[in-house]
Structure 1
């Protein structure tokens, strides 16, 4: 499992705990499939921070679209990031946004593997 974890940079503690819990009862092939699925869906916190910062100069709400929050993305787009206040909040909370998204994707990947 440690070899697979090396392919997932910037793991948050919540993610690591969830991965250990979910993969503990998986076979080697299920673990491999899980890490391939999860690695493809996972978003790095730095990517979310970069996309959020683009909201200050380009288009607000891109980070919300990337995180699958289309309604919030449209709201940010139409209101200029809720007059930049929402964008500032997202800059402060970018790690939580990424971690929440990644946890959802982790559990979805585990369901797809069949665990």
Structure 2
């Protein structure tokens, strides 16, 4: 398995790909394959986070927070209509950062789950 396998993940940016390559540099090809399979199932695409954030303008605010496992903030966003739209705008702007932070945690959790 080569280092370009991570490039096949949807919406991956250079920073994330480099971080994943550094994380998995000591893995055997089989372990890299197992890691990629688990991580791919847990990872959130930044574009999906953006689209779901924009749903907040249609009255369904907070779904993006549920997607990144921030349940309490998702409930608050839902009740307050995305802090009257301001929180929804901020989340739409920061959607890539939200996805990157979530994906970084999930990569570490995936490695721990596999015992790597």
TM-score band by shorter chain is: over 0.9
Q: 1:66-94 deviations in whole A, cap 9, x for unaligned? A: 11100000000010101111001001111
Point out where structure 1 has 5 or more consecutive residues left out of the alignment: none
For residues 106 and 63 of structure 1, the distance between their equivalents in structure 2, rounded to whole angstroms, comes to 19
Kept in 1: contact 2:7–2:17 (CA 8 A): no
Measure the CA separation in 1 of the matches of 2:18 and 2:70: 25
Alpha carbons 1:7, 1:39 under 8 Å: kept: no
Q: Any conservation in 2 of the 1:12–1:99 contact (CA below 8 Å)?
A: no
C-alpha deviation, 1:58, in angstroms: 3.2
What is the root-mean-square deviation of aligned Cα atoms in Å?
1.2
Deviation at 1:5, TM superposition (A): 1.7
Match of 1:91 in 2: 92
Count residues with an aligned counterpart.
115
Normalised by the length of structure 2, the TM-score is 0.92
Output the CA distance in 1 between the equivalents of 2:15 and 2:75.
29
Provide the rounded CA distance (Å) in 2 between the counterparts of 1:78 and 1:113.
Answer: 38
Q: Retained in 2: the 8 A contact 1:55–1:81?
A: yes
Identify which of structures 1 and 2 has the higher relative contact order when contacts are C-alpha pairs closer than 8 Å and 6+ apart.
Answer: 1
